[in-house]
Each structure stands twice: as structure tokens, then as C-alpha cells.
Chains A and B, each alone.
Chain A
């Protein structure tokens, strides 16, 4: 059982992340303190949520390049609403961010579902469109901390059991995803639609619709992260999260989500995001030259992916697992 755990993709990746984490701890003991661990997790929360949304999209053999632009647009939108109507309740603003994000995600999804346009083309287009729309919306102006209400900035920072709400939101998202992807038919359909679309079609799964759902969820999470991002850094401007979609996709790939679809787990995806989070937080602490930083983060990503790929080699991949038949499979 333990051996199986260690040799699984997630196991190998966890070992790499933990080695890195404690390795930095040798250089800077404060890095592995509980409070700093919580702050690293908190710092990675947005990436985790976006990566989970992206995982659904990648599972269905698509890709969503517009997540960061969605973050920027929704972030700017709710920030401006907050600026002009500071009395508006936060629950309403969060609902608004989810709604706007879902809308932008649905646009991607509808193109993929109904027009059968390759998702990379559509989301490459909407990536620029959403970013441009952010500019048109704001006229290039920034929304700054003093133009935001106290609760708008305070909510993700509010601490419950010494972890900020931002981190708890990631925890809730992880739990929901874990449950949905393992135990709900709705979640299992993402695997079947991506693993073998033809077989899925014949077993009554509407592959296009599943892809639509994937974009919808990815968009909704991007919308929420739009608010969280703008609130966390207390500023909204057009270039918010510029290029962040690449980190999101990298988190998925590192976490063992197969770029050709059908394979990937919630746990792997979260560890993949944490991997990037630890690298991002460790590099400034150990004082690596900025010219080396990019090369190093690229290198560790490649190493992680190689380690990951070789750990899964030569083994038949179970695409659809009956949750009740786990013991049966282990016996084989």
C-alpha cells in the first residue's frame, strides 16, 4: 500500500515538492515554519483554483488560454462596481464575479461545443478580446486600494484558524473537486469524454456538452479568482495576471494532467500548483540571481515532468475506475 503510494505520480511529485521545501528550509529555517507554510499555501491558492478549472478543460482534450484575461476582466469589473457602489454587499459582489466569469467561460464553451472550433484558437482569441475589453471597460485607468471598500480588501485576508479566507476558499474548492471527480457521474464524464470521446459518445455522453461544462467551471473559477486577485494585491489594472495562464497550465502538466486529455487527478493537480508555489516563494528567499531564476524554474518544471512521466511508464492507465471496485483492481 505504502509502496504503491510512493510510486504513484502524486507520490513522486509530493516527494519532489517536500524535498525542495525542506531543502530551502536548510538554508532559511524560517521558510518551513508553520506560519510561512500557511502563507505559501495562501499565496498559491489562486493558482490552485485556476489549475483545477484548467484540469477539467484539459481532461476533455481542450485548453483554456483565456483564464488570466478572464481574471483581469472580472477583477476590473467587480473592482469598478465596488468603486462606484461601495455600499453593495460583498456576497453580491462575489456572486457577480462568479457570474461574469461563468459568462466569459460559457462563451469559450459554446464555441467549442456548438461550432466545434478548436479550443486553442477560440481561447487564444478570447484571451485578447477579454484583455482588450478590460481596457475598454477601465479606459486604462487603475482602481487603487483607497477606491476599494474595506470589506472588499478585507474579506480574503480575514483569518479563520490562522489561515486567511483566501486559503480556505482553495481548500473548499479542492474538497468539492475531489468529491466531484471521484464520486459524481458529472465529474467522471470529464474523464470519459477526454479519454475516449468515441466510446463516451456511444455510451451516451454528450462530449461537446461536457467540454462546455469544463469551460464553464474554468470560467467561473477564473471569475472568483479575478475578485481574489484584485483584492489580494489591492489594485486592478489592465495587465493584471498577465501571462498567468502559462503558470496555470504548467501546474496541471507538472501535476500529471495529460495534455492529450483523459488523465489527471485533483491531488496531482494541487501538488503541481504547490510545486510552482514553493518554487516561486523559495527563489527570492535563497537569493538566486534574477537572470537564473527563470532558467531554474523552467529546469525544475522539466525535471518534475520527466520524473512524473517515467513513474507512470509501463503501467496500464485506468481511465474509468468504478469507485466501488478499487479492491478488485488492486488485487490484479
Chain B
């Protein structure tokens, strides 16, 4: 026991010394992800590297457990505290379990932010959401407008294919879409249907939409199962190019339909931008730049932080035939 304690002391002082050398000139930001080897987070790391090149005096420590567990992340947080990093930017496996360890980090003067998947308010200074409900709602209507433009029309109709009628975030997004309709006077929302996130029901609902509204231009599905099923229904009915499908989905899942032409464009967060912004925010917090409500994040603009410490990065990123292949291997 005693010898263990001594070893620990020696080790601790050694790391203290070692990190002391670093800390003099470089800001050390730890990008702690849910697990290593996940395409989405590897892409976020690419963004962090981009921020490092832009800033110059940053060192990125990209780390994470081998499987998505809170225990693994806690161990890493403890070792990051021991290494005396300047900031931790974490995408958490558990919103509550990490709080004590992150509190400890903050007590040692480490700046903590969460991004992508947040932690409780006490565990971090700010949380970076990829987007906000109102931005997502507006983006979805924008996508419908883009698809109608791609058809060469100046005005047109669209319908929404959602998940279940009781899905909270879907309903919030649909509400926001309706609100932002005033900005798009040439768009008309003709119907809202629910596919329950089941492939067969979504497929049927999409088919019925097309039959019930022969002049329908666009189906907007802000759900991954829905957008796929609708795209398949459109190609099966031989209406590719006549009815466009758009909404939220992953590049790896939708690449085929983008190339077939059933989907003109769709949106989802960009993990590269997310990693970039998280790094910028962490750096600026360490440097004391920005105010309580506004923190700059490089090329992504300024993050507006609300009273809970939450902020939204940007509108969802638009993917189309030009960039979908680049991202389909990532996530």
C-alpha cells in the first residue's frame, strides 16, 4: 500500500513536471469522444485539426474509451486532470455520470465544454448543440424551396412525412417549419402525415401523399426511416425528378438516393464543423475571449449562449451530389 502511494506521488509529480513544460506556450485541448473508431468522431477530429492549424498555439489531445461507456470516459477525465490539460471538450456517454469527474476538473481550473451529446449543467461551462430547433425547422423548408428550384419552378407545394404523431422533437420541428413558412411565400404546405418510423408505414404514407396530391413537388421527411422510405417510394413509382424527397438523414444512408435523383439535397449536422467549433470554443474560453453570452468560434461565427449555458452552432449542413460521397464514408 505504502509503496503504491509513493509510486503514485512520483508519477503525479512527473506528469506535473512534464505538463508544466507544455503549458508554457501551448493551449492543450482534449477532445474526448464517446468512443474511438467511430466515423462521426474521426470527422470531428479532422475539424479540430483544422482549428489547430488556424490557431497555431493549440495542441489537440484526441481521446476516448474503446467502447461507449461512461466509466471509460471518467477514467480518461481523471487522467486528463492529472495531465493538467487546459480544456476538455466532451461528447458524453452519460449526461449525469460524468458530472462529478468534470466538476473536479473545473475545480482544478480546466475549462470544460460539452458538444454533440451534453452533460448536466454543473459539469460544464457551455454546451454546444449542433443546431437549434428553429434553425432545423427553417432548414427543412429551405430544402423544400431548393428542390422546387431544382425542378425549375418558382413556386410549389410540399408535404411533411414525420415519425410518430407523439414524437416530441418531430412536432417541435414541424411547428418551427410552419413558423418559418412566412419567409417562403412561394411554398405551400399541403399535408402532414406520420410514418411512425416504420419502413412499411412510411412507404405507404409517402405513396398515398403522391396519390392524394397529384401536383406535389416535395416530400420533407425530418426522420431517417421516413426519408429513405419516401425516396424508395418515389423511385418505385417512377417519379424521380417529378417529386423530390428531402429532410434530415445521414450521408451514408442516402448517398444512393442522391445519385439516383430521388433526393436533390438533404441536411444534417456536419461533424467536421462541430469538432472545429468545439475546439475554437475551448480555446477561446482558456484565453478568456468572448463574453458570458457570446463566444467567437472562428469561421463558424459567434456562439450565442443562453442562461443554461447552451448554444447552437449553425443551421444543419446541406449535402447534395457534390459532397455526399465525401461524407458517406464518415457517417
Residues of A within 8 A of B (CB): 28, 30, 39, 43, 142, 144-147, 157, 229, 233-235, 237, 239-244, 280-281, 284-285, 287, 290-291
Shortest beta-carbon distance from B257 to chain A in Å: 7
Please tell me if B252 contacts chain A, counting CB pairs below 8 Å. Answer: yes
Contact flags (1/0) for B154-198 with A, using CB distance below 8 Å?
Answer: 000000000001000000000000000000000000010110011
User: Known interface pairs A235-B199, A290-B193. Does A144 touch B256 (Cβ–Cβ under 8 Å)?
Assistant: yes
Please tell me if B51 contacts chain A, counting CB pairs below 8 Å. Answer: no
Contact flags (1/0) for B239-255 with A, using CB distance below 8 Å?
Answer: 00000000000001111
Q: Is the CB of A142 within 8 A of B253?
A: yes
A281, A284, A291: the one contacting B165 at CB < 8 Å is: A291
A30, A144, A240: the one contacting B199 at CB < 8 Å is: A240
Contacts of A146 in B (CB 8 A): 255-257, 259
Please tell me if B236 contacts chain A, counting CB pairs below 8 Å. Answer: yes
Please tell me if B310 contacts chain A, counting CB pairs below 8 Å. Answer: no
User: Known interface pairs A144-B252, A235-B199, A235-B253. Does A30 touch B232 (Cβ–Cβ under 8 Å)?
Assistant: no
Q: Is the CB of B253 within 8 A of A287?
A: no
Q: Is the CB of A144 within 8 A of B255?
A: yes
Q: Is the CB of B229 within 8 A of A233?
A: yes
Residues of B within 8 A of A (CB): 165, 191, 193-194, 197-201, 203-205, 207-209, 211-212, 225, 228-229, 232, 236, 252-257, 259-260
| Chain B minimum-CB-distance residue to A291 | B165
CA distance A290 to B225 in the complex (A): 18
Pick 6 A–B contacts, CB within 8 A, sort by A: A28-B212, A43-B200, A144-B253, A146-B257, A233-B228, A284-B212
Contacts of A144 in B (CB 8 A): 228, 252-256
Besides A145-B232, A244-B200, 14 more A-B contacts (Cβ < 8 Å) are A28-B211, A43-B200, A43-B204, A145-B260, A233-B228, A235-B199, A235-B228, A280-B201, A281-B208, A284-B209, A285-B212, A287-B191, A290-B193, A291-B165
User: Known interface pairs A144-B255, A144-B256, A233-B199. Does A281 touch B194 (Cβ–Cβ under 8 Å)?
Assistant: no
B211, B252, B254, B259: the one contacting A285 at CB < 8 Å is: B211
Contacts of A147 in B (CB 8 A): 256
User: Known interface pairs A284-B205, A290-B165, A290-B193. Does A233 touch B257 (Cβ–Cβ under 8 Å)?
Assistant: no
Q: Is the CB of B232 within 8 A of A233?
A: yes
Q: Is the CB of B194 within 8 A of A145?
A: no
Contacts of B194 in A (CB 8 A): 290
CA distance A78 to B187 in the complex (A): 42
CA distance A191 to B327 in the complex (A): 56
Contacts of B200 in A (CB 8 A): 43, 229, 233, 241, 244
Shortest beta-carbon distance from A46 to chain B in Å: 8
Q: Is the CB of A145 within 8 A of B205?
A: no
| Chain B minimum-CB-distance residue to A31 | B211
Contacts of B256 in A (CB 8 A): 144-147, 234
Shortest beta-carbon distance from B73 to chain A in Å: 19
Shortest beta-carbon distance from B45 to chain A in Å: 20
Q: Is the CB of A280 within 8 A of B204?
A: yes
Of listed B165, B199, B211, residue having the most chain A CB within 10 A = B199
CA distance A39 to B194 in the complex (A): 21
Contacts of B228 in A (CB 8 A): 144-145, 233-235
| Chain B minimum-CB-distance residue to A164 | B236
| Chain A minimum-CB-distance residue to B199 | A233
Shortest beta-carbon distance from B93 to chain A in Å: 15
Q: Is the CB of B208 within 8 A of A285?
A: yes
Q: Is the CB of B198 within 8 A of A281?
A: no
Contacts of B201 in A (CB 8 A): 280
| Chain B minimum-CB-distance residue to A148 | B256
Shortest beta-carbon distance from B130 to chain A in Å: 20
CA distance A243 to B201 in the complex (A): 12
| Chain B minimum-CB-distance residue to A293 | B194
CA distance A30 to B225 in the complex (A): 27
Q: Is the CB of B212 within 8 A of A287?
A: yes
User: Known interface pairs A146-B259, A290-B165, A291-B165. Does A284 touch B253 (Cβ–Cβ under 8 Å)?
Assistant: no
Contacts of A285 in B (CB 8 A): 208, 211-212
Contacts of B211 in A (CB 8 A): 28, 30, 285
